[in-house]
Structure 1
Amino acid sequence: MVQRLAQLWLGLLLVMLASACANDPPPAPPAPVAGASETVRSSYVLAPGDRLRITVFSEDRLSGEFGVTTTGQISFPLIGNLDVAGKTLADVQSMIRTRLADGYVNDPRVTAEFVTFRPFFVLGEVARPGQFPYADGLTLRQAIASAGGFTYRAKRDRVFIQLPGDTKEYTVDLEAESNRLVKPGEIIRVGERFF
């Protein structure tokens, strides 16, 4: 009887391990290089949750801070709602400059800069899972620390990351890539260990 129970237990354990291995997402794409935040900023595309400061020189009433809405727009004085989701800061500057030059302002000079990026998320086996404000140069280890660190059940050698706009999770080896830079909007999930 004891031998039969041991065999059942071992069989169940093997099924669980095989299932866990079969469900592992593919490896993560290459991580951004540490210190590359200026490159990340120049290629960064806007999405809901981002906040911008737009300045139109010599036009104080047109300058200010604008948040990207859940529909991916900002509401700009005189020209109305602008679709900015998926666009870079340079695209937004150009769009506003073009629209203002079309009968509103002579030779508009427009600059746009980030005030805040959209938050990132840490889920799973951490002390305080949730949404956290993004900071430039944030590493994977720092992101997990901002969520209170690992719980005692956490699998500490790897995490799962869902990139903004993607539906898949990627496996990241935490020991090899603990200094990987986190991007705004990423979802980091810490899995549970089996033993």
Structure 2
Amino acid sequence: MKPFFAFLAALLIAPLMGQPAEAQSSYRIKPGDVVRVEVLEDSSINRNALVLPDGQISLPLAGTVRAGGRTVDQVRADIASKLAPNFANAPTVFVALNNLAPESMGAGGAAPVTNTIYILGEVGQPGLVQLERGTTLLQALAAVGGFSKFAATKRIQLRRVENNRERIYNINYEDILMGKTSIGTTVLSAGDVIIVPQRKLFE
């Protein structure tokens, strides 16, 4: 199985954005990139992981893993180390670049007309999205297909860095619908992170 897995990994890496394997092996991952993680022994861990503004990614069993500033090999080794206690033998882990973060400047060095927003969790299309400046929280949620049936809509979070400190705004979607709060009209800023957690049992 392992030789086949290595062959599959090579097929996935080679065509990525036309970059040779050597370039990818030395590339330093940055926030906004998306990495593909595959674990041969447990396919439930396999996923595309968005690198958050703090450089972290999150994976089942492994928890939080620092990806920003590292190569794919360094991230792979860290994931394998964190997963090891959950397996009888050392797990076979593959990590590759899936997408690169969009350029932060527009044509000719002008300020971008869009903002990069991160929307995670129980929404139709989670991940990094480019939205026009002036887009509100509700408009952003609509842009990614709304909520999944497992969404805990009473526990939405908006995470924003202000004055070098992260602030967390807790949002209840039902309160927005009932007109109890106007937070749904909050205009999003570049780098904002919206998290829609999974609903708990009986929630």
TM range (shorter): 0.3 to 0.5
Q: TM-score, normalised by structure 2?
A: 0.42
**Structure number, greater radius of gyration:** 1
Structure in which a larger fraction of residues adopt strand: 2
Q: Looking at both structures, which has the greater relative contact order when contacts are Cα pairs under 8 Å and sequence separation is at least 6?
A: 1
